[in-house]
Structure 1
């Protein structure tokens, strides 16, 4: 089973909301639990530099998981991730975030 690295790119125009999202991601590794234990290997988020090449993306969240099954749990069942999604609802513009993931 391969470990998974996931990058999620957000278009959040308000810098205050970007900073608040970064704070929420900073504790995700301990807040997200599966079977009563933390399961996310690492989680962090950073703002992008202002540059026309970023196509309007202002925040990148990086999460890593031991398996694709853990990432699927994160997407569909994790309460801490659900809270982040609820917080960001209405703050992200131009459709849903761009999510890419890969084996590492």
Structure 2
């Protein structure tokens, strides 16, 4: 897929503090459903979705699960937040996961600062 002509791609990160490993798995399973079921106008609209448990380190500040989603436009991200059935099911289930606080959600427009070089 290519970037939407309406503007730059939008990158969204969501960070969760869920202490219980079974509840972390439940959240990751819900993200798998989002990846499989996400549709806008009958077609998949999420360009990339990645989610996983964070690796233990001193800088994690208690975050145990992270997700990254790339959208073609800000409109697509707003659709995800407000109209996507797959995401609404995830949001309905989330309060039962024992989160220590609401998730931290950030989004930004891509700015390539460095890129890996292919070897000759």
Quick check: TM above 0.5? yes
Aligned: 1:69 with 2:50: no
Structure with larger Rg: 2
Would the aligned equivalents of 1:29 and 1:39 in 2 still touch at CA under 8 Å?
Answer: no
Unaligned runs of 5+ in 1: none
| Higher mean C-alpha displacement, 87-96 vs 33-42 | 87-96
User: CA shift at 1:13, angstroms?
Assistant: 1.1
Q: Is the 8 A contact 2:13 2:105 kept in 1?
A: yes
The residue correspondences of 1:55-94 to structure 2 (distance < 5 A) are 55-94=61-100
1:49 aligns with 2:55: yes
Instruction: Between 83-92 and 12-21, report the one with greater CA deviation.
Output: 83-92
**Quick one: structure 1 residues 30 and 93, their matched pair in 2 at CA, closer, same or farther if it must change by over 3 Å?**
closer
Does residue 1:97 correspond to 2:103, yes or no? Answer: yes
**RMSD in angstroms over aligned alpha carbons?**
1.4
Q: Retained in 2: the 8 A contact 1:33–1:39?
A: yes
- Looking at structure 1, the residues matched to 108 and 71 of structure 2 have their Cα atoms a distance apart, in angstroms, of 10
- Give the helix-richer structure, 1 or 2: 1
Correspondence for 1:15: 21
Runs of 4+ in 1 over 2 A off after TM superposition: 26-30, 92-95
For these two proteins, the number of residue pairs brought into alignment is 104
Q: TM-score, normalised by structure 1?
A: 0.90
Report the CA distance between 1:94 and its aligned residue: 3.3
Gaps of 5+ in 2: 1-6, 111-120
